[in-house]
Amino acid sequence: MMRHQGKGVESNLLKTTPRSDGKKQVTYNGHPLYRFDEDQKAGDTDGQAVDAFGAKWYVIGPEGKKITTEPTNGTDGGY
């Protein structure tokens, strides 16, 4: 059951999918959702474009598409 859907989130794009360990993974428009550990509050995007676990990670916009804007601060993540 989905709870605490954020402002601007389209509920029809919010779903779950089974993971290989049997647990459920939340998805948005088919993209698995994760929280970057260094992001501490709403709006933090320090994980943007971080290359980890075999791919770059990106923020997903409210319309369900990944935002591929690269960080501009010269680090591995953040806007």
Tally of CB atoms within 10 A around 47: 21
Q: Which residues contact 50 (CB under 8 A, 6 or more apart)?
A: 36, 56, 57, 76, 77
Q: What string of DSSP letters covers 51-64? A: EETTEE--EE-TTS
3-41 pLDDT tens trace = 566 778 888 999 999 999 999 999 999 999 888 888 888
First to last CA, the chain: 32
Rounded to two decimals, what is the model's pTM? 0.68
